[in-house]
Amino acid sequence: MNFEHTEERRMLADSLDRFIAERYGFETRDRIAASSQGYSSEMWARFAELGAIGVLLREEDGGFGGSGFDIAVVFEALGRGLVVEPFLGSAVLAAEAIAAAGDEAQKESLAGIADGSLVAGFAHDEPGSHYELARVQTRAVRSGDGWILSGAKSVVAQGEAAGLFVVSARTAGAVDDEAGISLFLVPADAAGLTVRGAPTIDGGRVAELSFAEVRLDGGALLGTEGGGFAVLERAVGRGVLALCAEALGAMEVAKAATLDYLRTRKQFGAPIGSFQALQHRMADLLLEIEQARSAVINAAAALDADRITRERALSAAKMSIGRIGTLVAEECIQLHGGIGMTWELPLAHYAKRLVMIDHQLGDEDHHLERYIALGRERAA
């Protein structure tokens, strides 16, 4: 199998890296991340112009890419810049759900997502849930030709900026049944919907959504009634790949910063990088990062495979990224010494982001258990 990127992907990666280096430096990123909006509308429009949003969607969905390696290329570049714009929630999670289950009228929103004029929110996590994809307590009941939606969603990335939400709700079954989950498209200005925003620890903003008997017409149902779990699984799978690639980009920057520090910081008249103990630690770290890269490549290659092959590759990658990302964060800070913990040093922010990626869309322990369960399912 040829793992080399196509000429188009290499050109996109170069363009993104150059733009982020020149226009999205750490001070700019820090200011954007701490702003009241949590991202920059201007930067979002520029990313759209570069094609970084459209390449995450398939051609039939209004984009011009959408493969696993397209996602990996974009998010690795975003990880190198700690970019906080709503790529994951809007252009990956929400867009994939709409593309996979939407009818022609619903898919019209994909054009706005692709060109950056519409930010879509992916509202699935709930207060008290713990990575279980099938655990949905928000309920939707029929009312004439429409639906009444009641419940709450939490940690919706850039929820305050979203003009449209993809919302999971239970229309049948017990709280943790895979069957009986339905998806709905809910406009941000729907009566009875309350959006409360808050900053995140690693930059940007999230929102809590409350649905107080929100009335939706029949056209709000996304896909078939009760058949939302498979759509959620596919959308979240693409999100897992995106997070793994983002972590890989962040690891590369942390590694480069640490190598530079080891070459320049001196003790006893010699660079500390000349000390054998530190060389061994850094060599081990480089090997771990290459293992993470292999896991991302494997997941990207398996994105269009059969369900079990795809999901096992994704869980294996997320499990590896969780472990290695935490290791990179800890080792790079320790090799920097006390300065590694200072807020002014970009490394501390990369370390924080790596740790938080482990807790998005399932942590290391969750995906280890899932990998084992999928293996048993295949053997049965």
Total structural domains within the chain? 3
For the chain, how big is the Rg over CA atoms in Å?
21
Average pLDDT, the chain: 95
Determine, yes or no, domain membership for 2: no
Domain shared by 140 and 234, yes or no:
no
Q: From 124, 123, 99, 122, select the one nearest 110 (Cα to Cα).
A: 99
Domain shared by 200 and 252, yes or no:
no
What pLDDT score was predicted for residue 2?
Answer: 56
Please provide the DSSP assignment of 174-236 as one string: -TT-STTEEEEEEETT-TTEEEEEEE-TTSSEEEEEEEEEEEE-GGGEESSTTBHHHHHHHHH
Domain shared by 366 and 234, yes or no:
yes
Domain shared by 372 and 284, yes or no:
yes
CATH number at residue 83: 1.10.540.10
DSSP state of 100: H
Domain shared by 236 and 375, yes or no:
yes
Mean predicted confidence (pLDDT) in 181-194: 98
Determine, yes or no, domain membership for 221: yes
Mean predicted confidence (pLDDT) in 148-163: 97
Last residue of a domain, one of 193, 226, 259: 226
Domain shared by 177 and 79, yes or no:
no
What pLDDT score was predicted for residue 267?
Answer: 84
Domain shared by 222 and 236, yes or no:
no
Is the confidence at residue 292, as pLDDT, over 70? Answer: yes
Domain shared by 143 and 197, yes or no:
yes
Backbone angles phi, psi at 146, to 5 degrees: -120, -155
Domain shared by 374 and 241, yes or no:
yes
Domain shared by 262 and 331, yes or no:
yes
Determine, yes or no, domain membership for 108: yes
Measured in whole angstroms, how far is the alpha carbon of residue 66 from the centre of its chain?
15
- pLDDT-derived band at 3 (thresholds 50, 70, 90) equals low
pLDDT in tens, 240-264: 999 999 999 999 999 999 999 999 9
Three-class secondary structure of residue 270 per DSSP: strand
Is the confidence at residue 5, as pLDDT, over 90? Answer: no
Q: CA 39 to CA 83: how far, in whole Å? A: 9
Q: From 332, 378, 317, select the one nearest 71 (Cα to Cα).
A: 317
* Distance in Å from the first CA to the final CA of the chain: 29
What pLDDT score was predicted for residue 128?
Answer: 85
Last residue of a domain, one of 83, 114, 145: 114
Domain that holds residue 75: 7-114
The reply to whether the predicted model has a pTM over 0.85 is yes
